[in-house]
Amino acid sequence: MAYKTHKITLAPTFRQRRWFAQQCGYARFAYNRALADFKTGLAQDTFQSWQTLNNNFNKTKKNYTWVKAQDQRAALYAIKNLGQGIANWVAKRAKFPKFKKRGVRDAYTTDEQSVRVEGKRIKLPKVGWIKMRQALRFVGNIIKVTISRTAHRWFASISVETEDTEVIDNSTHPVIGIDVGINTLATLSDGTKYDNPRPLRRYERKLKHAQRKLSRKVLKSKNWFKQKRKIDRIHYRIACIRRNAHHKATTEIVKNASTIGIETLKVTNLLKHKKLAKALSDSALGGFLSKLKTKAEARGVCVIEADQFFASSKTCSSCGHKKKELLLSERMYQCGVCQYQKDRDVNAAINLRHLAVG
């Protein structure tokens, strides 16, 4: 059995949006209470599990009358998430959890009890049926549903336990290499190029004016929140354009490949370059490669990652000669040994293909 998640845009009424906001607030309240309890225990040299934190919260929540009307699963899953965050901190995979703030990553989770999906609508506990923009893509048992807000839109991430019976034959497809960049999002070894929309650069002027207006408002006044929502919409638009380009390119690449050779990027190191940091952040190359690997794994396509120090751009794809230096301004690769000449990005993609072939 496989677990798959489909994130669907909702079309809630005003009453339903208000209910979502209340549950997000309740989840945030439970998370912050449990985190404060955990920090108090640490100060007394007592390490508390998430079950203990949940039991303590259930005892103290009786003091608040408004809690009875809320979905209690929202608090349970919030404390469970805190437990996972603490486990990651103990294993040194992440930093110590922080208190949640209102309006930042608002979300709450409920489980399969009382959840039903029929066509383009979903039934959630205590709020009833809610319209969805599209039908659920997967068939199977619903495990949990996470309601989240991004800018002005509400989403339902529905996790389903399904059996993947689809068999895809990729043996007839070619082996390809992919070189990612700023000007061109992805360049394939066969010469195909996918343009990089760079939405931040397109909306940078509009975003700058909106943020300047926000700075002139009285902090946390009605006009301040109104302008803040406008900025959130611009950021949401930028993210949608970037994500759309990534999904279209990765889907088309994975459908037409048997094996893919890619480079290993250390994004944190790349962002230290002062002149390229903004352009690299706008391109989100790490997110592109992550989507590519996820889709390739789902379709059974093998992904070969090059070594971190593999010089795909400096190496000649014809004779294997490696240049000592290659400036960013040199868009055409010219080999000084065999006189081979090729587009710089295509040459790097061919080298990655050679690596994938082995």
* 328 CA to centre of own chain: 29
Q: Is the dihedral of CA 184, 188, 193, 199 positive or negative?
A: negative
* 50 CA to centre of own chain: 26
Which pLDDT belongs to residue 164? 65
Strands 184-188 and 175-180: antiparallel
Which pLDDT belongs to residue 167? 59
More confident residue, 270 or 110: 110
Is 345 one of the annotated active-site residues of the chain?
A: yes
Which pLDDT belongs to residue 166? 60
Which pLDDT belongs to residue 349? 93
Which pLDDT belongs to residue 265? 85
Q: How confident is the model at residue 274 (pLDDT cuts 50, 70, 90)?
A: confident
Give the tens place of pLDDT for each residue, 175-204: 999 999 988 999 999 999 999 999 999 999
Is 179 one of the annotated active-site residues of the chain?
A: yes
- Given 37, 106, 282, 345, the catalytic residue: 345
Bridge partner residues of 9 (DSSP) = 155
Q: What is the mean pLDDT of residues 220-224?
A: 94
Which pLDDT belongs to residue 309? 83
Expressed in angstroms, the distance from the first to the final Cα of the chain is 33
What is the rounded distance in angstroms from the CA atom of residue 334 to the CA atom of residue 317?
11
Give the tens place of pLDDT for each residue, 147-167: 999 999 999 999 999 876 565
Q: Is the dihedral of CA 139, 143, 149, 150 positive or negative?
A: negative
Residues 6+ apart with CB under 8 A from 75: 26, 27, 29, 30, 57, 61
Residues 6+ apart with CB under 8 A from 132: 8, 9, 10, 11, 120, 121, 122, 156
- Given 37, 71, 179, 282, the catalytic residue: 179
Q: For the chain, give the mean pLDDT.
A: 92
SS3 135: coil
Which helix H or strand E contains 220, and what residues bound it? none
44 has a pLDDT exceeding 70: yes
Is 118 one of the annotated active-site residues of the chain?
A: no
Which pLDDT belongs to residue 323? 86
CA distance to 146, 256, 273, 330, per residue, from 243 (Å):
20, 20, 24, 29
341 has a pLDDT exceeding 60: yes
Residues 6+ apart with CB under 8 A from 106: 21, 24, 28, 148, 149
Residue spans of the domains in the chain: they are 2-162
DSSP 132: B
Which pLDDT belongs to residue 31? 97
SS3 144: strand
- Given 37, 71, 106, 263, the catalytic residue: 263
Give the tens place of pLDDT for each residue, 165-182: 565 777 788 999 999 998
Give the tens place of pLDDT for each residue, 225-257: 999 999 999 999 999 999 999 999 999 999 999
Give the tens place of pLDDT for each residue, 278-292: 998 999 999 999 999
Percent of the chain with pLDDT over 90: 72
CA distance to 2, 55, 81, 95, per residue, from 87 (Å):
24, 18, 10, 10
Q: How confident is the model at residue 317 (pLDDT cuts 50, 70, 90)?
A: confident
85 has a pLDDT exceeding 60: yes
- Give backbone dihedrals phi and psi of 215, rounded to 5 degrees, phi first: -65, -20
Which pLDDT belongs to residue 273? 83
